[in-house]
A and B are shown apart, each in its own frame.
Chain A
Amino acid sequence: QAHSLKRGTIQDLKCTTKNMLVWDCTWTPPVGVSPATVKEVCIKDRLHSCHRLESTNIKIAALSPGDHEVTINYLNGFQSKFTLNEKDVSLIPDTPASLSLSADLSSSTLHLRWNDKGSAFPYPSNATWEIKVLQNPSMEPVKLVSFNTTLNGQDTVHHWDWASELPLQCATYSVGIRWYIDYHRFSGYKVWSDWSLLKNISWTPNSETNVFPQDKVILAGSDITFCCISQTKVLSGQIGKTFCPLIHLYGENVAIRIQNISVSENSGTNVVFTTEDNVYGTVVFAGYPPDVPQKLNCETHDFKEVICSWNPGRPTGLVGPRNTDYTLSESISGKSVTFKRFETLTNESYRLAFQMLPGQEIHNFTLTGRNPLGHAESAVFINITERVAPHVPVSLRVKDINSTVVSLAWHLPGNFAKINLLCEIEICKASSEQEVRNATVKGAQESSYLVAVDKLTPYTLYTFRVRCSTETFWKWSKWSNEKRHLTTEA
């Protein structure tokens, strides 16, 4: 504030500003002079303006930097003079505006949103915010946080989230916020705004549910607090068979704090509070997020569908509705398929069938595993023609061409029209002589294939079987059933 130059008595002239554009100045009139007898205020600025006035408060446009002489004339001829400088002015912004407070009970998280009204301030300015969370009824701040933002000349909505250790249902919470502004061209005092009116969390308690959180899924190894809202004295609190020290909240309400929780059984870990007249409980599911799917392998048996299989990796400890869902998406076709299981199967049975688009060879697969604790993904980029594992050849038939040559025919389900098949024919003589011959055949759609086998011994019992793969080899099919055949006499 500025001090009067005359008449020896200190008359404080205090100026504040909310936005550095308008100064709100008040002063104390000399002893014996009534505030209502003010006649005018004159300010020696560029304009040397005078303002007629009848009170000891005046709002003036912000003055330029430097000293300014202020003269106050009273009706009775009395005069006060002040020297006013921006340095004497306090910048006290209004309490933060349009506050909204919401609570996500499932995650015990408070969401605070407010608008900085940045358009009302010169910019860029630095805003420092302070938020306090009070836990009723003790009204002790359980959280006090401070952080900075920049006012950029526009109204900006800010968010602040706070995850409470104690479930929000266990106490009532209030939140307040205040701030101050630091503008490099303002030389006056930077002062906190008032605290905003406290915002309370409101939720309608279900009179029957006394223990919180209910049915929470959390990461194994983390810490968690459970509370019991009770009208009667709580005698004990336990997790599984382990009793825990009770933490008093207020009234008969208590809490227990669990550290480094271990993985739950399938049906979850029970948390039980015993009171004088009843027993209340909840269940917590402690587990892991999905592991990165391992050994993701995608192949086709028939060029109709791609079969992707994988190993889920580390068990998550979560089953049923909390089990891991898998989604296989293919970016080129934009298609995806989902794998939902209520029951966790043994590792090798994780597979998904993806209907191929005719003619699409390149596939860019991403397999995403998701459960309540997170997600993980694996990707594979393939040319499906290089990932063919044909079905087992069926309907193997042998026909004599002559005493040393037979024709072998078999059926191979699938659409191999665009590729060549590489097949192996195993020829066994009764005398356990065994020979394997290769045969390349032009692929076809849902077709049977025919190969001549020569240089056989007449009137000899042979056993034939066949398996196939593709020229761009990936895997053999299984061997077909064996076919016994006696060649004709020479």
Chain B
Amino acid sequence: MSQREGSLEDPQADSSISFLPHLEAKIRQTHNLARLLTKYAEQLLEEYVQHQGDPFGLPGFSPPRLSLVGLSSPSPSHAGLPLSERLRLDAAALGALPALLDAVRRRQAELNPRSPRLLRSLEDAARQTRALGAAVETVLAALGAAARGPDPEPAASAPLSPASSASGVFSAKVLGLHVCGLYGEWVNCTEGDLSQLVPGG
């Protein structure tokens, strides 16, 4: 079995792939971080919902469909893409999320100023997402995949605004819910994509 820098052409086709020790450690570390954030994201979503008041969180309530400028959910075809492309999409989304999470925190600081734990969770989420995004970028760079193909430009400084222009408090609540959902989806997606790189993963 040959030790090489490793490549992301199609790891499934070559299950015996192995990476240099430091790269493998980086991948494992990044994967662990993604797994951890997946759990945190679930907790954040739950906590967020609790602070928006009924009917948020009630079984019958399905929040309005809002599309967000700058970020959308992982596409159904994501799993079918080459791994390098998937990781680059993950990195782009992780690059866009911190600004959105910050915007949600600022709005929640007005609505729920007496809920420091929620505000801290949103702050942590933004910071941790930034860290995970950087780690994925590092992995991609190490695997030489980062340079290939145009990066889907993350709308890093995308203001928190729905595609529509409704800007009331209710829309802000729904938008925050949407961002927390996207946060969970993309860290979960990243964790899944990274798991393919973890030897024996």
Contact = CB atoms under 8 A, between A and B. Distances in A.
A442 to B, nearest CB: 48
Contacts of B1: none
Given A209-B166, A272-B61, 10 more contacts: A208-B162, A208-B165, A266-B112, A266-B115, A267-B108, A270-B52, A279-B62, A319-B114, A321-B110, A343-B114
Interface in B93-134: 108-115
| Nearest 4 interchain pairs by C-beta | A281-B170, A283-B169, A320-B110, A208-B166
B118 to A, nearest CB: 10
A386 to B, nearest CB: 38
Given A206-B165, A267-B173, A343 B113 contact: yes
A443 B65 CA distance: 71
Interface residues of A, number: 31
Nearest to B62: A279
A320 B114 CA distance: 9
9 contacts: A215-B170, A241-B54, A264-B53, A266-B112, A266-B115, A270-B55, A281-B64, A282-B168, A320-B112
Contacts of B62: 279
A344 B113 contact: yes
A340 to B, nearest CB: 12
B51 interface: yes
Given A343-B114, A344-B113, A268 B169 contact: yes
A279 B110 contact: no
Nearest to A264: B53
B75 interface: no
Nearest to A211: B170
Q: What is the predominant secondary structure among interface residues of chain A facing chain B?
A: loop
A342 interface: yes
A214 interface: yes
Interface in A265-314: 265-272, 278-283
B109 to A, nearest CB: 7
B166 A206 contact: yes
Contacts of B164: 208
B53 A265 contact: yes
Given A208-B165, A209-B168, A278-B65, A266 B174 contact: no
A148 to B, nearest CB: 42
Contact of B54 (A208, A215, A266, A270): A270
Contacts, number: 89
Nearest to A283: B169
A318 B83 CA distance: 50
A128 interface: no
Given A265-B53, A269-B53, A278 B64 contact: yes
Contact of B113 (A214, A215, A238, A342): A342
A245 interface: no
A251 interface: no
A240 interface: yes
Nearest to B63: A279
Interface in B141-167: 162, 164-166
A215 B167 CA distance: 10
Nearest to B58: A241
Given A240-B54, A240-B55, A267-B53, A320 B65 contact: no
Contact of A320 (B52, B56, B111, B166): B111
B61 A319 contact: no
Contacts of A265: 53
A133 B14 CA distance: 78
A208 B164 CA distance: 6
A280 B62 CA distance: 11
A133 B36 CA distance: 61
Interface string A408-445: 00000000000000000000000000000000000000
Nearest to A345: B114
A320 B113 contact: yes
A342 B111 contact: no
Interface string A453-485: 000000000000000000000000000000000
Interface in B26-82: 51-56, 58, 61-65
B140 to A, nearest CB: 38
Contacts of B168: 209, 214-215, 282-283
Contacts of A208: 162, 164-166
A211 B108 CA distance: 21
Contact of A282 (B63, B65, B170): B170
A266 B110 CA distance: 9
B51 A272 contact: no
Contacts of A264: 53
Interface string B160-195: 001011101111011000000000000000000000
B69 to A, nearest CB: 13
A344 B58 contact: no
Nearest to B116: A343
Interface string A225-269: 000000000000010110000000000000000000000111111
B64 A280 contact: yes
Given A266-B115, A342-B110, A344-B113, A272 B166 contact: no
Contacts of A283: 168-170, 173
Interface centre among B51, B65, B171, by most chain A C-beta atoms within 10 angstroms, is B171
Contacts of A320: 109-113
A426 B110 CA distance: 51
A241 B57 CA distance: 10
B60 to A, nearest CB: 9
Nearest to A270: B53
A211 B58 CA distance: 21
A323 B56 CA distance: 24
A280 B171 CA distance: 9
Contacts of B109: 320, 342
Contacts of A278: 64-65
Contacts of A319: 111-114
